[in-house]
């Protein structure tokens, strides 16, 4: 293994990503990745274009949806093409700097997804718990400011964690047992003290998985409390219907991650199963999110209906005699 020296640390010129190498019938999985990539990119692009172009979707709520779709689009392009290059074309090596860049972008967009779902949960909480004050609290200024903070804070945190990788020395193995340059499998390869990196990894689990899940659960407890005060079942169902899309988004994003985390902590998953399950937990939500919004959001469905109606309606020509 060729090593380069950088002050007191040693790092390889390249890493080998071997996470999916031993999986049987892997070609079928790569075909699935191609389909997932196409649906995710086209679906999120559609959502981004619709929100940007149609004034009926210019509302604070859809600022949140736009940012979630943008994060989904970014993570899909940071993750799946590299996976396809690595395993489909048997090009498993990645340079040290490219590995750090891959690590940054995948984690960056994933953390934005997590926080975007929290902001959307807050949006639904205010809309149902404080409906008369909704437009005063959740306005354009609030949403623009909160997402500016989300993108800036996450960029700083992810850049900090990646910069700590450069302090590590890799003097033994350069084989990453994952499907991309994942933070945990990389820092565990170090042959010097990596306690700071382990602490950062635990902080990330708390900050981007545990805390968002807890906040979202609290927001829905508040929503259910508000629903219990509505006298009619029709009114309760109408209010709850506005949350269905968000609940599906939260379930598709957090439940697989939490289940894999619990299974891994109890040592009930083999290495290949863990890698495959974790990769699915990363690539499927960006594909499902635009489908959920297109199929379950009345405003977006209305816009799509109008587009098809205008495209399919015959052109009428008036001939004056």
Residue 320 lies in a domain: no
CA distances from 96 to 14, 58, 210, 248 (A): 5, 42, 31, 37
Share the mean pLDDT of the chain. 86
Residue 306 lies in a domain: no
Give the pLDDT confidence score for residue 214 in this predicted structure.
95
Helical residues (DSSP H) of the chain, grouped into ranges: 26-53, 60-83, 96-129, 134-137, 140-165, 183-187, 195-205, 211-228, 233-241, 244-265, 271-296, 298-312
8 A C-beta contact, residue 277 and residue 258: no
Which segment of 65-74, 151-160, 308-317 scores lowest on mean pLDDT? 308-317
8 A C-beta contact, residue 83 and residue 179: yes
What's the rounded mean pLDDT across residues 264-292?
Answer: 82
Give the domain range for residue 62: 3-299
Domains in the chain, number: 1
Q: Per residue in 199-210, pLDDT tens? A: 999 999 999 999
Give the pLDDT band of residue 3 (cuts 50, 70, 90).
low
Which segment of 96-105, 107-116, 287-296 scores lowest on mean pLDDT? 287-296
pTM recorded for the entire structure: 0.89
Residue 317 lies in a domain: no
Q: Per residue in 4-49, pLDDT tens? A: 555 456 778 889 888 877 677 777 888 888 999 999 999 999 999 9
What's the rounded mean pLDDT across residues 270-280?
Answer: 80
| CATH number assigned to the domain comprising residue 202 | 1.20.1070.10
60-83 and 271-296 helices, crossing angle to 10°:
140
Give the pLDDT confidence score for residue 65 in this predicted structure.
93
Give the pLDDT confidence score for residue 8 in this predicted structure.
54
8 A C-beta contact, residue 278 and residue 184: no
Give the pLDDT band of residue 314 (cuts 50, 70, 90).
low
Residue 316 lies in a domain: no
> Which residue is associated with the tokens 């939500």?
285
Residue 240 lies in a domain: yes
Residue 146 lies in a domain: yes
């Amino acid at each position: 293994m060729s090593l380069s020296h950088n002050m007191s640390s040693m790092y390889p010129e390249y890493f080998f990503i071997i996470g999916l190498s031993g999986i049987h019938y892997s070609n079928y999985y790569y075909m699935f990745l191609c389909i997932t990539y196409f649906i995710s990119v086209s679906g999120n692009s559609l959502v981004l274009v619709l929100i940007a172009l149609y004034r009926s979707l210019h509302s604070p709520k859809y600022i949140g949806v736009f940012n979630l779709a943008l994060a989904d689009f970014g993570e899909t392009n940071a993750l799946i093409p590299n996976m396809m290059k690595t395993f489909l074309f048997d090009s498993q090596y990645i340079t040290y700097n490219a590995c750090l860049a891959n690590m940054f972008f995948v984690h960056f967009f994933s953390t934005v997804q997590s926080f975007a779902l929290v902001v959307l949960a807050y949006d639904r909480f205010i809309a149902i718990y404080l409906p008369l004050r909704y437009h005063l609290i959740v306005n354009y200024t609030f949403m623009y400011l909160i997402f500016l903070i989300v993108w800036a804070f996450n960029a700083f945190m992810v850049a900090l964690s990646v910069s700590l990788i450069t302090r590590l020395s890799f003097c033994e193995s350069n084989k990453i047992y994952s499907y991309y340059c994942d933070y945990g499998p990389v820092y565990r390869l170090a042959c010097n003290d990596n306690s700071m990196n382990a602490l950062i990894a635990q902080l990330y689990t708390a900050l981007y998985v545990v805390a968002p899940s807890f906040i979202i659960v609290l927001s829905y407890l508040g929503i259910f409390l508000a629903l219990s005060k509505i006298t009619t079942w029709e009114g309760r169902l109408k209010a709850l219907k506005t949350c269905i899309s968000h609940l599906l988004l939260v379930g598709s994003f957090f439940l697989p991650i939490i289940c894999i985390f619990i299974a891994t902590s109890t040592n009930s998953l083999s290495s290949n199963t863990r890698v495959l399950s974790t990769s699915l937990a990363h690539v499927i939500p960006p594909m499902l999110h635009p489908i959920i919004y297109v199929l379950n959001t009345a405003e977006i469905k209305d816009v799509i209906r109008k587009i098809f109606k205008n495209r399919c309606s015959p052109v009428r020509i008036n001939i004056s005699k």
